[in-house]
A = this chain, B = another copy of it.
Amino acid sequence: MSSQPSHPALLIPGPIEFDDAVLQSMSHYSESHVGPGFVATFGETLSMLRKLFKTTSPSSQPFVISGSGTLGWDLVGANLVEPGDDVLVLSTGYFGDNFGECLKVYGAHVDVIRPQVGSRPQLPEVEQALRSKKYKLVTVTHVDTSTGVLSELKNLSETVKRVSPDTLLIVDGVCSVASEDIEFDAWKLDGVVTASQKAIGCPAGLSISMFSGKAIEVLEARKSPPASYFASMKNWKPIMQNYEAKKPSYFATPSPQLVHALHTALSQILAKPLSERFAKHKEVSDKIKQAATELGLKQVAGSPEDQAHGMTAMYLPESVKATDLLPKLANSGVIFAGGIHKEIATKYIRFGHMGVSVTDPARDHIDKAITALKNGLAECGYQKL
């Protein structure tokens, strides 16, 4: 059981509920950001990220920077894009679209493949686009938090590398890292940007990313300097390399407390085989999706193979309003999120199921949430036809 004060179960698609030991690491006493104790903690944290991302290539480069998941988009835009570069955005929702908007700020010409809400771009269409012009990079949102649509990465990468081998494949993994399998090396990914507060299970405040040796080569070969100072990978790369080599180094002050919490969260994740973790997330996700179907609720992500395993976005029955249902769930001690995809915002709700809520059965979050959903819908006058 958790030793935290009694509070409703936060089951939105991030921030998620946190483990007690992770939260205790947040209140670590103050340490120098360049002292040997913290340097070792930060260095180990960076090395653990390599294991989480399944990369053993020495040229892969992890980054942990104070910020949010959104800062990861700026890392890509300010360092891997130069004005006039063509970028292909594969959008499965709000976050895919906005990744594209961010890259435009850095001068990218952005083409977006945006299928109807709830589905994802298909490979023949991607291949056709790749043959039409030379893209500097392709971005894909592994799980779009606005729709719960899961994108397939392995075959996508095979297509990109076959048709346009110089094109970088960049993954927004904010809502997928640590709940969906990611094989950074095997799938030849060039960048995965994520954040701390979702399946990794560390409070918000960190931009976490991994870039391939090829992405670093593109960075080094820029004609112009990176278009940001704080988000310059050229400024941060030597710092990350020094920390990982356990040498003190300074560009901008990291957050020792957040890095301690990330260290604790990653240590917990890596204490068991990752395959078990992903299987558990799938098992719980299947159970939730089954329960939703039994309640007569349709998912936003249409096909089962397009459905994420760390969240479920569900259309509400026409007679039920989110603004009526969500407070009833909160009264039952369960917090879900409303919709944020502009085309369907008022018509659906989102249930996040990642991290301790999935892996710690003593919390009983999932059964409690399913029961609350069932009762809440009934209180709203809904009965399955």
Contacts and interface: CB of A to CB of B under 8 A. Distances in A.
Interface of A: 4-5, 7, 10, 12, 14-18, 23-24, 26-33, 35, 66-71, 73-74, 77-78, 101-102, 105, 195, 197, 203-206, 225-232, 250-258, 335, 337, 340
A74 B205 contact: no
B33 A250 contact: no
Given A30-B18, A257-B203, A229 B66 contact: no
Contacts of A257: 23, 26, 203-205
Best-surrounded residue of A7, A18, A24, A228 (most CB of chain B within 10 A): A228
B16 A23 contact: no
A205 B4 CA distance: 23
Contact of A30 (B71, B203, B251): B203
B33 A23 contact: no
Best-surrounded residue of A197, A229, A258 (most CB of chain B within 10 A): A229
A7 B29 contact: yes
Contacts of A258: 203, 205, 255, 258
28 contacts: A14-B253, A15-B32, A15-B256, A23-B29, A24-B27, A27-B27, A35-B335, A67-B67, A67-B230, A70-B252, A71-B230, A71-B252, A73-B229, A73-B230, A77-B229, A101-B229, A102-B230, A105-B226, A105-B227, A105-B228, A105-B229, A197-B255, A204-B253, A204-B255, A205-B257, A227-B227, A228-B231, A231-B231
Given A23-B257, A26-B257, 7 more contacts: A7-B31, A32-B337, A67-B230, A69-B253, A73-B229, A102-B230, A105-B229
Contacts of A70: 229-230, 251-253
A66 B15 CA distance: 14
A299 B23 CA distance: 41
Contact of A33 (B24, B32, B204): B204
Contact of A197 (B35, B74, B253): B253
B254 A204 contact: yes
Contact of A29 (B5, B31, B105, B254): B5
B335 A230 contact: no
A18 B255 CA distance: 13
A230 B74 contact: yes
Contacts of A17: 29-30
Contacts of A24: 27
A68 B252 contact: yes
Nearest to A255: B205
A17 B73 CA distance: 33
A28 B73 CA distance: 28
Given A68-B254, A253-B204, A256-B203, A23 B27 contact: yes
Best-surrounded residue of A30, A227, A253, A335 (most CB of chain B within 10 A): A30
A177 to B, nearest CB: 15
